[in-house]
Amino acid sequence: MICSSYPLTYDGIGVDEYIEWKIAIDKIFANCFICARRKVRNVTSVLRDYALTWWEAFSPLGKPQT
């Protein structure tokens, strides 16, 4: 499988939407052999709304790296 673009961004609302988004992201990571550090960077780049606000509330040193 060729590494494809990420699924629609996740806005932090809705359990069902999160599960669907997470499954799609996990499939991409599994097929593209992305390392743990790059997973965080890649996933956080597609957050929006409440999810992005939550992520940006972390200090740079407090953000998870993997």
User: Residue 9 has what DSSP assignment?
Assistant: P
The model carries a pTM of 0.57
Map tokens 């932090």 to a residue: 12
How confident is residue 48, by pLDDT bands cut at 50, 70 and 90?
confident
- Cα gap 2→65, rounded to integer Å: 26
* Res 2: pLDDT: 44
* Percent above pLDDT 70 for the chain: 82
